[in-house]
Amino acid sequence: MGRRSVLGASAMLLLPSMASAMPQASTMRIHDHGTFTRLVVELSESIEASAFVLPEPRRLVVDLPELAWSADVSVSKTALVSAVRAGLFEPGRSRLVIDLIQATQLSQAYVLPPTGATPWRLILDLTPTTDDAFQAAATLNQITRIMPQGGTAMAVAKPAAAVEKTTTAARPTSSKSGPRKIVVAIDPGHGGIDPGAIGAGGAYEKTITLMAAQQLKQKLEATGRYRAVLTRTRDTSLVLRQRIEIARHAPADIFISLHADSIRDRDIRGLSVYTLSEKASDAEAEALAERENKADLIIGMDLTKESQEVRNILIDLAQRESMNLAARLATSLIDELKREVTLLRNAHRFAGFAVLKSPDIPSVLIEMGYLSNRVDQSSLLKEGYRGKLMSAVVRGLDRYFKEAQLAQRY
């Protein structure tokens, strides 16, 4: 007998409609039919989509037009599917990522028109395949075009945007008078279909980091000394490399990544500041870096072949100067932050975060607290607390540039 799981409402990956014209995804359901697994998404109108597979771990990725999701995508395991994620991948494009238990192929994919009270439906039929066939489809970058009213078309050239779309921030224009402002790239961690940590009370890390980043930007620019560039300004997905590229194209003098993680011990709370090191300061720091560095897998990107290249760039360029400056920046930040918020013991920590590996920009990652701790979570949800924290970050930056006597360069 087939197993049916109707995917109901959940806050985890909802993207409420911002405009009535945006297509709606109202219901999602999955059914294990024995010989195949069918995934159905009910839609408010006809759409076109495309699908491709990624290895290590095995995933089926479906790119869609930007949708307003009122359907939950949590899913009970079937014979082929272990989990499903969906959300805004970038402006104008949503993404559905299906985690696969074994080698699987998309045997049928089409969009059905309404019949009676039943709306438009995206139909995805999954069947088992061989490991060799799956690997070949991934290696050849085969894409399935999903068209309205049935029919699919295969392609072997994946568009560059499916693998990489580097978002660039505008380069600063020259000021007609006065010194150039110091450019700070602010990176709100996670976003889109990658929610990050989910707090004890249901708070999303991606939401808290974006709110904090917006406050930091406002406070920095209010001084008149800084220009702030956000790596994302809305709930959208970015691969780790894109975040670094945005900072480099700004061009940023400092890179600050904001996070709010969770850990098993819910009694632990407090803020910490991380700088880059290939050797983690402790096992907890190493585990945290490993989780964060997997974010590209969560949003359906295949960057596994590039990890060694990034590591080689780091080693070959011997970015000791940037790492040393980052350590000094961390010290200045901690000196100011400790006046306002609770810090972890040994608040300056070291780990191999991929997002800190820009070879030419001093970079820090601020873990603002643990969402697994109810006190930290409650604090981070308060605008006043975040504002106090971000004001301390501004003072830390001021201290850093003053003490290092770097401000004269700008």
> Do 123 and 218 fall into the same domain?
no
Confidence of residue 258 (pLDDT cuts 50, 70, 90): very high
Among 66-75, 86-95, 276-285, 306-315, name the one with the lowest average pLDDT.
Answer: 306-315
| Cβ pair 249, 168 in contact under 8 A | yes
Confidence of residue 137 (pLDDT cuts 50, 70, 90): confident
CATH classification at residue 195? 3.40.630.40
Structural domain includes residue 252: yes
Structural domain includes residue 109: yes
Confidence of residue 300 (pLDDT cuts 50, 70, 90): low
Structural domain includes residue 248: yes
Among 174-178, 325-329, 382-386, name the one with the lowest average pLDDT.
Answer: 174-178
Name 332's Cβ contacts closer than 8 Å, sequence gap at least 6: 396, 397, 399, 400, 403
Structural domain includes residue 199: yes
| Cβ pair 2, 72 in contact under 8 A | no
Give the domain extent around 20.
3-163
CA-based torsion, 37, 43, 48, 50: positive or negative: negative
Report the number of distinct structural domains present in the chain.
2
Residue with the bigger pLDDT between 10 and 351: it is 351
> Do 150 and 193 fall into the same domain?
no
Mean pLDDT of the chain: 78
Structural domain includes residue 172: no
Structural domain includes residue 55: yes
Q: Which pLDDT value is given to residue 69?
A: 84
pLDDT(175) > 90: no
> Do 92 and 157 fall into the same domain?
yes
Structural domain includes residue 176: no
Strand boundaries in 33-103, DSSP class E = 37-43, 49-54, 59-65, 68-69, 81-90, 93-100
Q: Which pLDDT value is given to residue 204?
A: 93
| Cβ pair 364, 276 in contact under 8 A | no
How many residues would you count in the chain? 410
**325/316 Cα distance (integer angstroms):** 18
> Do 260 and 131 fall into the same domain?
no
pTM: 0.59
Q: Which pLDDT value is given to residue 154?
A: 43
> Do 152 and 194 fall into the same domain?
no
Structural domain includes residue 319: yes
| Cβ pair 188, 258 in contact under 8 A | yes
> Do 215 and 115 fall into the same domain?
no
